[in-house]
Amino acid sequence: MAFLKVIPLEEALKIINLLPLEAEVEEVHIENALGRTLAEDVKSPINVPPFDRATVDGYAVRSEDTWMASESEPVRLKVIGEINAGEAAEFTLNKGESIYISTGAPLPKGADAVIQFEDVDRENNEVVIYKPAYPALGVMKAGTDVSANKPLLRKGQRLGFKETALLSAVGFDKVRVFKKPRIAVISTGNEIVLPGKRLKYGQIYDINGRAIADAVRELGGESVFLGIARDEKENLRELILKGIECCDIILLSGGASGGMRDLTASIIEELGEVKAHGIAIQPGKPTIIGLIDGKPIFGLPGYPTSCLTNFTLLVAPLIRKLLGGSYEHTTTRKKLAYKVFSVKGRRQFLPVRIEGEKAIPILKGSGAVTSFVEADGFIEVPENVEILEEDEEVEVILFGPFYS
């Protein structure tokens, strides 16, 4: 029988933070970079635009050639050619010359302005200009949008569509991102059945397996749901070994019975080491932290809300860390919608729903599925507190969004 080591939450978080697990890096094509997390700071290797670029269709000129132009005494410049977007032709403008240029094309040498074609007249090979052009009119200078070596994105940043577009804009077709940690998920308990099967009397459908497997994915990890272990040593041991083989982290959620937890602890102690057995919080007493072959294994409570609360408190920080993000909890400050009573001497976490600036406690008992489904996160009621007052400011630890 595994020794019971009940420890404070903070000690559990230290133990987990020290687990021998490092963020790993891989290179992916920009086509597959959406939703991944950057593994390095990114600077722009180039200027955007890389050259002085026309922002209108019109005539590239030396602006000083136009400074005497007026409605009554227009300036006439010779049109010596045409530059289209994407053409590499390298013209040079001399005094008294202009070139027809289309939007996006590079300015010829000597030119410093582009006058819109609507504002001039064209007469054979001359353009007639009625108004002075100032330098840089109709031009986007090289590097004004993004300058070479400008820091663009930070390590640990999640790549949304704006970030992948920015990487594309500066020419990256590959990007170094953190490898998705692979997480094995196992549900346990004789009464638990996979959805789609017919329930026999005394059975209930699996909740935690699906919840944790998908919460891991929303966090940016990869999950492998290995199914349900019966309350029986060989079966559970087999699934744990399968998890060790395929994944970086193993997550079990306990069946309702206490025997299951002892079983889990004793298997971990046989195969590796139990680091903690019980966290001094409610819910969380049944939680186990272990290490097998350098791979963390967590036994989480069976009640869905307790399971998700402990997952969010203990496992989510580790997954975020492996994705180059913060080990800290994701929190927000809200005002409690109504008075909450707790038991003195218990450090309790209560699910809450957020509505505007209010945190609304959901009091259905930890067994209720719907309490975590309705919750956005949970609040702490410290050990020495019996009452949280209405309108008291509380810190909500969020189930999600996992990225902010």
Nearest distance from C-beta of residue 68 to a copy of itself, angstroms:
28
Of residues 253 and 275, the one with the C-beta less far from a copy of itself: 253
Of residues 70 and 370, the one with the C-beta less far from a copy of itself: 370
Of residues 36 and 275, the one with the C-beta less far from a copy of itself: 36
Element (H, E) at 373: helix 369-374
Nearest distance from C-beta of residue 108 to a copy of itself, angstroms:
11
C-alpha angle 97-66-86 in degrees, rounded to nearest 5: 50
Of residues 50 and 74, the one with the C-beta less far from a copy of itself: 50
Of residues 74 and 400, the one with the C-beta less far from a copy of itself: 400
DSSP category for residue 368: -
Of residues 70 and 203, the one with the C-beta less far from a copy of itself: 203
d(CA 187, CA 220): 21
Of residues 255 and 272, the one with the C-beta less far from a copy of itself: 255
Nearest distance from C-beta of residue 58 to a copy of itself, angstroms:
11
Nearest distance from C-beta of residue 188 to a copy of itself, angstroms:
11
Nearest distance from C-beta of residue 205 to a copy of itself, angstroms:
5
Rg (CA), the chain: 32
- Give the other-Cβ count within 10 Å of 86's Cβ: 9
Own/partner pairs, 212-218, CB within 8 angstroms, 24+ separation: 212/185, 212/251, 212/253, 212/300, 212/307, 212/308, 212/311, 213/185, 215/308, 215/311, 215/316, 215/399, 215/400, 216/183, 216/185, 216/251, 216/319, 218/400, 218/402
- Give the other-Cβ count within 10 Å of 200's Cβ: 8
Nearest distance from C-beta of residue 210 to a copy of itself, angstroms:
4
C-alpha angle 141-167-46 in degrees, rounded to nearest 5: 40
d(CA 304, CA 324): 28
Decide: helix, strand or coil at residue 381: strand
Of residues 169 and 354, the one with the C-beta less far from a copy of itself: 169
Element (H, E) at 163: helix 161-169
Nearest distance from C-beta of residue 364 to a copy of itself, angstroms:
7
Of residues 12 and 107, the one with the C-beta less far from a copy of itself: 107
Nearest distance from C-beta of residue 51 to a copy of itself, angstroms:
7
Nearest distance from C-beta of residue 13 to a copy of itself, angstroms:
22
- SS3 string, 198-255, reads CCCCCCEECCHHHHHHHHHHHHCCEEEEEEEECCCHHHHHHHHHHHHHHCCEEEEECC
Of residues 51 and 327, the one with the C-beta less far from a copy of itself: 51
Distance of CA 166 to the CA centre of its chain: 17
Nearest distance from C-beta of residue 346 to a copy of itself, angstroms:
16
d(CA 248, CA 292): 10
